[in-house]
Structure 1
Amino acid sequence: MALLKIFQTKLNGSSLIENLVASVIIMLVFVIASFSINNVLRNQTNSSAKLDNHVKELTYLVVYDKISEGYTETYINWNIEVRGDNTKTFLIVLDKHTGIEKKEELLNAF
């Protein structure tokens, strides 16, 4: 019997205007969050595209002997180095922040 009294208590409802205002606030929060996430992802993609273009440029320069083994440079947030042994040449890209190293063989680049 006590359970029935708990479920039968009256709750005050909210007006239509209050519901609309709450809905608009929630939608604004989600729109701002989605724009922020989109901006972060776009910036990361642009940064990666810049690195890829620079690596292609360095690959071209190595293949056509404009730069030689032992070449090092810092490009934005990456350390780039050209290393080689007797038969192969490698372009090594090291991310300064994460420490991730990417190694690309340049023997058959073109």
Structure 2
Amino acid sequence: MKVKIYGEGAEAQELLDKVNNSLEDLGLSDFMEVEVTMDEELKNSLSISKTPALIIEEEAIDFRDTIFEGIVPSDEEVKSMFISIIGGGGESSGGCSSGSCGTCSTGCH
């Protein structure tokens, strides 16, 4: 699985730091590739209009989506998102991507 941060500057760096810290805290840093990009093709294909944007890619199932756009989520929101994606944390259904986890102060994007 790949995590891409689309953007540059202080907010993109802050989001990158939160992603890396969350992956480290969850013991996932060895299993996920993280990169910062300004790839215009990626921006256009996902219709990204605000930065920074957090994108998840999973090539094995041909999945790519923008999870957060135009905001820097809290540390807990980033962790909750990763837990929802990998299916951990004891939640039986829903999760950050459905808006039902209740941990996001900004709602899902």
**TM-score of Structure 1 vs Structure 2, range by shorter chain:** under 0.3
TM-score, length-scaled by structure 1: 0.25
Question: Bigger radius of gyration, 1 or 2?
Answer: 1
Answer 1 or 2: higher relative contact order, Cα 8 Å, separation at least 6: 2
TM-score, length-scaled by structure 2: 0.25
Which one has a larger percent helix, Structure 1 or Structure 2? Answer: 1
